[in-house]
Structure 1
Amino acid sequence: MRVPASTYRLQIRRGFTLFDAAATVPYLKSLGADWVYLSPILTAEQGSDHGYDVTDPSAVDPERGGPEGLAALSRAAREHGMGVLVDIVPNHVGVASPPQNPWWWSLLREGRESPYADAFDVDWDLGGGRIRLPMLGSDDDLDKLEVVDGELRYYDHRFPIAPGTYTEGDSPRDVHNRQHYELMDWRRADAELNYRRFFAVTTLAGIRVEDPQVFEEAHAEVGRWFREGLVDGLRVDHPDGLADPAGYLRWLKDLTGGAYVLVEKILEPGESLPGEFATEGTTGYDALADVDRVFVDPAGEAALDALDASLRGTSGPADYAEMIRGTKRMIADGILRSEVLRLARLVPESHGLATEDAADAIAEIIASFPVYRTYLPTGAEVLKEACESAAAHRPDLEVAVGTLLPLLLDPANPIAVRFQQTSGMVMAKGVEDTAFYRYTRLGTLTEVGAEPTEFAVAPDEFHQRMARRQAELPLSMTTLSTHDTKRSEDARARISVLAELPDEWAGTLASLRQLAPIPDGPYENLLWQAVIGAWPASRERLQGYAQKAAREAGNSTTWTNPDVGFESSVRAAVDAAFDDARVTRVVEDFVARIEAYAASNSLAAKLVQLTMPGVPDVYQGSEFWERSLTDPDNRRPVDYAVRQAELEKLDGGTLPASGTEPAKLLVTSRALRVRRDRPELFQGYAPVRATGAAAGHLLGFSRGDGAPGAVTLATRLPAGLEAAGGWRDTAVVLSAVMRDELTGAVHGPGAVSVADVLGTYPVALLVPVEGEQG
């Protein structure tokens, strides 16, 4: 199995095709990246920027460069000694435009007789033999249907007409009533949908890759990539949505000839990747959370909790456990009620549970779930504990929960299989997409894959986690920014400084709230942290984020029922950051106040992520400052020509000033090159402990395994370090003569002053000087 030393993620789309990616390969090689990592490239909904709405899995998307583009990218990678990793989407397909998806079109045209009927997860009985499509503005809109060119049309939407169901002169409504599908008011999807989807997205229909025939057809093109040597590894999107993730991964390993495979799996605290998964690891959300927290000051927690309580008008900060129980229950009773009701219908009548009672108990169990899902028999204890928690929280459901538990524990029972697919959906929507916008004390903590109640991680705990990572998942990905992160790495690095200066932040926020008030204190905290994290940013970007964040939180406005007055105050606040000189000054003064500390955090987090155990990924463009907010902001185009020019300056001997954008490029390129060119320096893990007055401000580790390896030294909590008088007598012991890859300076062996080593940058990457050991 070929394994990457590192990867570089590219977002492939119509505006940046596989041919463009191929042209970028020489720069990526020079940067130090080992593999090119591509977003989904199979044919997707036309105009899709992300590619997760695959409409035809049989071919590379023509908009993204087609098979010729993949061949060109693969050829360029091979010529530069690089590998290729591709993101694939096994859980669902895009159905927003039925004519674009031949499988879906066939299903709608032929119903249960379609050759693709088994590919989709449809409860035909609930729909009376028809698949329900929530496409209408209201059910009265059936009178707006038209028959055009042998198809039913609803405005720009096109639907097939089954053979023999239309005679000239028939009314469109009558023709519709004879089809294998039923168009209905979009609002009815929450409780009445009868096909499985991705989370609550009705335009992404789940497919049954647990069926061997479906797997084979859905992965025929993927298999070709490996047979023809075009691709070296895969990233699997959302495996938790599958009926049998472990079985799927075994099939995938066979299909690819044992290639390198990663899974997008969110691990909750204390949770391990199932041992039966045929995978090298996760896509790195767990690593992101650890890196972030080691650069958050635990001393700021009490003050930020007090601020949160004052914004909420309560005696204490938000109770996160109670919050997520409530948000998950809200999702289970709301936008995902159709999934819960489908589970309830699978309870045998002989068990004596009415559908509504079963649904109530199922929703409560899911709301009590501490992880995304189980993989029975793995996770049986977690399921039992969730049932105990549900019964304790709702004693009136104790009998119903007890009745359901044996069914949910049986891996062969359809309700157990579907329950495992559903619990993760509720978790994702209730936690990541709702609670993360409500729990606002420090935005760094509410990142995808993170546990927000864990405020900070001490260096000793970080070292223990890294040692486990090295021992258990040495090939798992590490990352700091992705297409899914709610705030990219350098925005979070800025926001983390607030934990060091909580009182100053409280005063700044008070000024902003007075000058540009929004009637939702916790949301104001979220919004202004985001503005500080992303500044300078365009008005359009910040307005887009502000609206999305407010609607996702769902406290003061929602997607389905926007509060016009509240959203007007949000828009006015964002506008004030640009149009009111007083607000602009508050924002810019605070950004200037924390900028040096934020830059230190950014460089430190980047170097740690690139050199810690695992396979580091660099998200497109993040070798410069990456201060994006949630999608689509984090998928903006990248100017590679500018990065190439700056890299050439660095390689020509120009040493950038600390805290500047080229300094991040320096850290990124030098770390990537060492990882690629000297892999023997990254075979183990051991802490490098400092002594002296500021020892707690240094995070250090060696990647050697017996012999001297690469040593990472990184500043943590820089505001506190400066306030205490700097490094002073702080020192570390080096076991060999070592050169800093960033500055070229040579240090050691023996005790060396941290002030000397970190005199130019807040970080150092030390490598043994060959032939000179202590």
Structure 2
Amino acid sequence: MTAVPNGAPPLTATYRLQLHAGFGFDDARAIVPYVARLGASHLYLSPVTAARPGSRHGYDVADPRAANPELGGDAAFRALCDAAHAEGLGVLVDIVPNHMGVGPANPFWMDVLRWGRDSRFAGVFDVDWSVPGREGLLVLPVLGDDLAAVLDRRELKLDWRDDEFRFVYFEHEWPVDPRTVHRVFAFEHTQELSPKGRNQVVALRDALFPEGGASLDEASASRAAQSLADAVRGSAELRAYVDHVLAQFADGEAGRYRVEALLQLQNWRAVHWRRGPREINYRRFFDIGELAAVRAEDPAVFAVTHQWILDRVAEGLVDGLRVDHVDGLRDPRGYLERLRGAVDERRPGEALPILVEKILSPDEHLPPAWTTDGTTGYEYLNDLESVFVDPDGAAALEAAYRKLLRLRTDRGGFHDVAARGKEHVLRHAFDTDVRRLVRHLERAARGVAPRLPRAALQEAVVQTIVGLPVYRTYLRVGDDGTLDASPEDFRWIGETLARAFGHGAADRFALQFVADVLRGEWSGKPDVSERARRAAAEFVLRFQQTSGPATAKGVEDTALYRWFPLASLCEVGGEPSRPLADAVGRLHAGNVERLMAWPRQLLAVETHDTKRSADVRARLDALSEIAPEWTRLVARWRRRHAPLHRLVNRRGAPDANAEYLLYQTLVGVWPLGGPADDAERASLKERVTTYMRKAAREAKAQTSWTDADAQYEQGLDAFVAALVEGQAGDAFREELGRLVEWIARAGWWTSLARTVIQTASPGTPDTYQGGELWALALVDPDNRRPVDFARRAELLDALDAEDWSAPDAAAARLLDGPGDGRLKLHVLRTMLRLRREEPALFAAGAYRPIEVIGAAARHVVAFAREGEGRGLVVVAPRLPLGLRRDGAIPVGSAVWGDTTLLLPESAGGRRVLDRFTGTVHTPDGARLGVGVALGVLPVACLAW
């Protein structure tokens, strides 16, 4: 093992890698030198522990006690960490405490299926074993039909796999309870066996069949099951005998009866997948049945699920953690305190970074009591994106969009769409979670409150979650049942309940009861029993675990696919209707707050979960500057392409909303100059088709994941094909190409500006794999395509060899072919290396917005970082088409005119060095013309 000298390096910049079987530990190790030369301080890895076989992302962890064998296993992981440390890089690893992937690869899950609530791992998963009518059973909503029909078609079979009897249904496998294995052999005979084989079978039967017909206890059943496995493994004759036994379960009506009878003895029940929302009795990640929630709040569960990664921390292999989906945890603060304590115990004095994936809504702040270094940066992403959108243009686009969808101007905006999205998923995908909450409310009210109808309570719960303006609150419940809540928690609850009461959709008495419970007022009443108090506390804690997933699915995965006047504002954690007029001021305020409270938090501009890459959004941002032209172009396209729509259920396929999204999508990903050949055109069609299908299903309007409308989707596919390579004709593609040629350049300058601002802001800039060059990608799986690291390394070599002694000539060489991304790579590597050289300046240096005056002042973002005699000012353009209508590079005094930077006193009169070009400037006192600072390249980093 190679540890980083003197401990882990300071956290200055991360480079994110998305690992899977096609890009494992050895592949990551091969690019470590490149990442180090780029300037990152830490290699940031997606989950590394064993996941479900074939996983493309690793978040479906199947066994957190081992490195993922599909990535290379433990030895390859160690080699990767050693290589990173040898290059001076730390290793930051994504962990998944909230859930696990279910299935045969998960030993915890299989044990729970095998033994039910008697399993030693029953406490790992959040299962409600007391659901009326399903007591003691784990409900698995996976069948494609009712059980009777599945059995009639012989689709569910008994088999011998991995040394035990299992039921098999297509790709699913479920173990037989060892205490019921004797029923497999209950009717069999042994005459066809040899004397030795017959003796073995008799011995096994004696072990499997308890005397007097009593059930085997767990210990005896375990021993008998092991004896059976050993015997079958060691004897071909016994293996053949098992096959003979299994044949009896596949033989005619008698076999069907045997299968059904044995099924009834198991600890689980397989039901039609459509019954899942009402019957599933284990908490999931969002609404995904294949991802079962884990009870990380239990110290024993925390220990068994975190031991492996904490051992890697103790060994010096892992130098920081990123916690996935912290909002899903029962008590995020308690979990983070336990995790911080465990990490600090293993690496005392190093204060390794612990970051959390947390979506902050506008005006929401991370709880200050959390022992974390901050979020992964979605709030920063959205603050920064707003800077590059023209407010007037965005308003014009929304007006045109409302007209397109025939919406009234006073209603039907994003907030209404988001509320409907949350309500939809609560009534469908999360119906069982809501019912579970209602049961806790009924127990809390029992014997004290007037009996409220269950339907009224259910509607009150739904409307309360719908009205919550944040993903969740963070109420904690003490041992005595009292609530521990922050003022911000009570503020959100107050706003929520006021909204729910005003909406009028729920019974006021039921809402008042929910309000009393959430505020802790119910538990404080003297006539409430201890049992009722416990039920109220359980409601509060589970309410919070339900509101987060409902918001994520209702807003991120529904509303943001239904409402997109300008799709670049429809990002994870974003709110498309947020005011844009003071976007620059909001960015500065957020940066000051981060410096004071969370100086190491990640600064993301794109992630594995973003709906569009940063460079796609940069193109779309430019549409806000040409709103009239774009609106006219869309109207012309819609008229021209009307004959290409198919009529499905008396509606067009695609509908108007999907068609508008498609036009924005094509603008975002269309290659400059058009597809180079038939292969690129076919690839583009496939990518866009896959994306549009996913978007349509997420919107849940014409089709969905659970109720796919094949005719609509075929019509949508055909429409995409017509636009990309078919019937739409060359006229459309030529118009699209001219538009892309125009706005792509504006997108480049916006992307450079975003890169400079991100890498100079307080916090830790994160680069998603491949994003150091222009990256035009859509949501996964598109953003997880292979990255050409060899090409990137070649370009980095060329940049390192570039001669900047003549800045104008060197810049001209970069600007001669900006489409290859070298310019972005140059800016990024310069800033990341500077951060590594000056860690204290970026970690703790003061942050000062720079005032800009002059005719083009609104087109500039500038700020200073200062500390201990060192400092820098970054200068970046915004809204570039307002400067150069043709999208040409915004440099020089001819463009910027009298626009001037008012530098801080510490820089006044000093010679400042532009780190991008090597050019030295001497300000006139505290003034420096923007046209001088941006005389060669469209961004500047002026250091002293």
* Same fold per superposition (TM over 0.5): yes
Distance, in Å, in 2 between the alignment partners of 1:667 and 1:357 is: 58
AA in 1 matched with 2:661: L
Do residues 262 (structure 1) and 431 (structure 2) align? Answer: no
Secondary structure class of the residue paired with 1:464:
helix
Which of residues 358, 369, 379 is equivalent to 2:457? 358
Secondary structure class of the residue paired with 1:299:
helix
- Structure 1: 5+ residue runs without aligned partners? 769-774
Distance, in Å, in 1 between the alignment partners of 2:696 and 2:574 is: 21
Do residues 70 (structure 1) and 77 (structure 2) align? Answer: yes
Q: Once structures 1 and 2 are overlaid, which stretch shifts more, 435-444 or 123-132?
A: 123-132
Do residues 550 (structure 1) and 696 (structure 2) align? Answer: yes
Which residue of the partner structure matches residue 36 of structure 1?
43
Which of residues 811, 814, 817 is equivalent to 1:657? 814
Which residue of the partner structure matches residue 146 of structure 1?
157
The 1:514/1:577 distance shift into structure 2, 3 A limit, reads farther
Which residue of the partner structure matches residue 423 of structure 2?
329
- Encode CA deviations 1:406-430: one digit per residue, 9 max, x unaligned: 2233496111110010000110000
The 1:584/1:418 distance shift into structure 2, 3 A limit, reads same
Which residue of the partner structure matches residue 276 of structure 1?
369
Using structure 2 for the length normalisation, give the TM-score: 0.79
Do residues 578 (structure 1) and 747 (structure 2) align? Answer: no
- Encode CA deviations 1:534-570: one digit per residue, 9 max, x unaligned: 1236111111001001111122222222233432332
Do residues 397 (structure 1) and 397 (structure 2) align? Answer: no
AA in 1 matched with 2:30: A
Do residues 102 (structure 1) and 107 (structure 2) align? Answer: yes
Secondary structure class of the residue paired with 2:911:
strand
Distance, in Å, in 1 between the alignment partners of 2:501 and 2:9 is: 49
Deviation at 1:705, TM superposition (A): 3.4
- Encode CA deviations 1:646-691: one digit per residue, 9 max, x unaligned: 0111111164433431101111111110011122442121012222
Which residue of the partner structure matches residue 206 of structure 1?
293
Which residue of the partner structure matches residue 772 of structure 1?
none
Distance, in Å, in 1 between the alignment partners of 2:158 and 2:913 is: 74
Which of residues 721, 732, 744 is equivalent to 2:901? 732
Do residues 91 (structure 1) and 98 (structure 2) align? Answer: yes
Distance, in Å, in 2 between the alignment partners of 1:243 and 1:68 is: 34
Which of residues 239, 258, 267 is equivalent to 1:171? 258
Contact 1:200–1:336 at 8 Å: present in 2 too?
Answer: yes
Contact 2:460–2:506 at 8 Å: present in 1 too?
Answer: no
Do residues 466 (structure 1) and 591 (structure 2) align? Answer: yes
Secondary structure class of the residue paired with 1:281:
coil
Do residues 603 (structure 1) and 603 (structure 2) align? Answer: no
Q: Once structures 1 and 2 are overlaid, which stretch shifts more, 654-663 or 674-683?
A: 654-663
Which residue of the partner structure matches residue 174 of structure 2?
159
Distance, in Å, in 1 between the alignment partners of 2:902 and 2:366 is: 36
Q: Once structures 1 and 2 are overlaid, which stretch shifts more, 336-345 or 310-319?
A: 310-319
Which residue of the partner structure matches residue 827 of structure 2?
667
Do residues 676 (structure 1) and 676 (structure 2) align? Answer: no
Which of residues 539, 560, 563 is equivalent to 1:436? 560
- Encode CA deviations 1:503-561: one digit per residue, 9 max, x unaligned: 11112222332343454222222221112111236111111001001111122222222
Deviation at 1:391, TM superposition (A): 1.8
AA in 2 matched with 1:673: R
Do residues 712 (structure 1) and 874 (structure 2) align? Answer: yes
The 1:573/1:760 distance shift into structure 2, 3 A limit, reads farther
Q: Number of residue pairs matched?
A: 766
Contact 1:38–1:85 at 8 Å: present in 2 too?
Answer: yes
After superposition, residues 251-650 of structure 1 pair within 5 angstroms as 251-257=338-344, 258-316=351-409, 318-347=412-441, 348=443, 349-350=446-447, 351=449, 352-376=451-475, 377-378=485-486, 379-394=489-504, 396-410=506-520, 413-456=537-580, 457-517=582-642, 519=652, 520-536=655-671, 538-575=684-721, 576-579=723-726, 580-650=729-799
- Encode CA deviations 1:484-506: one digit per residue, 9 max, x unaligned: 00001000000000110001111
AA in 1 matched with 2:919: A
The 1:20/1:396 distance shift into structure 2, 3 A limit, reads closer
Secondary structure class of the residue paired with 1:5:
coil
Using structure 1 for the length normalisation, give the TM-score: 0.96
Contact 1:685–1:705 at 8 Å: present in 2 too?
Answer: no
Name the larger-Rg structure.
2
The 1:396/1:344 distance shift into structure 2, 3 A limit, reads closer
AA in 2 matched with 1:111: G
Deviation at 1:465, TM superposition (A): 2.2
Deviation at 1:138, TM superposition (A): 0.8
- Encode CA deviations 1:561-612: one digit per residue, 9 max, x unaligned: 2233432332122112222322222221210121211111111111111111
Deviation at 1:74, TM superposition (A): 1.2
AA in 1 matched with 2:362: P
Distance, in Å, in 1 between the alignment partners of 2:636 and 2:694 is: 24
Deviation at 1:733, TM superposition (A): 4.2
Deviation at 1:231, TM superposition (A): 0.6
Distance, in Å, in 2 between the alignment partners of 1:214 and 1:620 is: 33
The 1:566/1:99 distance shift into structure 2, 3 A limit, reads closer
Q: Once structures 1 and 2 are overlaid, which stretch shifts more, 111-120 or 724-733?
A: 724-733
AA in 1 matched with 2:173: R
Secondary structure class of the residue paired with 1:287:
helix
AA in 1 matched with 2:832: L
Do residues 741 (structure 1) and 915 (structure 2) align? Answer: yes
Distance, in Å, in 1 between the alignment partners of 2:412 and 2:622 is: 21
- Encode CA deviations 1:13-66: one digit per residue, 9 max, x unaligned: 111111211121110111111110000001001110100000001001011121
Distance, in Å, in 1 between the alignment partners of 2:860 and 2:491 is: 40
AA in 1 matched with 2:31: T
Do residues 721 (structure 1) and 883 (structure 2) align? Answer: yes
Secondary structure class of the residue paired with 2:867:
coil
Contact 1:312–1:521 at 8 Å: present in 2 too?
Answer: yes
The 1:707/1:231 distance shift into structure 2, 3 A limit, reads same
Which of residues 119, 127, 139 is equivalent to 1:132? 139
Distance, in Å, in 2 between the alignment partners of 1:728 and 1:573 is: 47
Deviation at 1:723, TM superposition (A): 4.1
Secondary structure class of the residue paired with 2:437:
helix
AA in 2 matched with 1:452: P
Deviation at 1:266, TM superposition (A): 0.6
Which residue of the partner structure matches residue 528 of structure 2?
none
Contact 1:680–1:709 at 8 Å: present in 2 too?
Answer: no
- Encode CA deviations 1:333-392: one digit per residue, 9 max, x unaligned: 111111111111111133423332211110110011100001011313312321221122
Runs of 4+ in 1 over 4 A off after TM superposition: none
Q: Once structures 1 and 2 are overlaid, which stretch shifts more, 161-170 or 107-116?
A: 161-170
The 1:74/1:515 distance shift into structure 2, 3 A limit, reads same
Q: Once structures 1 and 2 are overlaid, which stretch shifts more, 569-578 or 211-220?
A: 569-578
Distance, in Å, in 2 between the alignment partners of 1:67 and 1:657 is: 43
Do residues 46 (structure 1) and 53 (structure 2) align? Answer: yes
Deviation at 1:721, TM superposition (A): 1.1
Secondary structure class of the residue paired with 1:627:
coil
- Encode CA deviations 1:51-100: one digit per residue, 9 max, x unaligned: 000000100101112111221111111111111100000000001xx211
Give me the identity figure in percent. Answer: 41
Alignment RMSD: 1.7
Contact 2:10–2:41 at 8 Å: present in 1 too?
Answer: no
Secondary structure class of the residue paired with 2:724:
helix
Distance, in Å, in 2 between the alignment partners of 1:50 and 1:511 is: 41
Distance, in Å, in 2 between the alignment partners of 1:511 and 1:577 is: 17
Q: Once structures 1 and 2 are overlaid, which stretch shifts more, 506-515 or 355-364?
A: 506-515
AA in 2 matched with 1:668: L
Secondary structure class of the residue paired with 1:153:
strand
Which residue of the partner structure matches residue 771 of structure 1?
none
Distance, in Å, in 2 between the alignment partners of 1:118 and 1:10 is: 33
- Structure 2: 5+ residue runs without aligned partners? 1-7, 188-256, 345-350, 476-484, 524-533, 646-651, 672-682, 804-809, 887-893
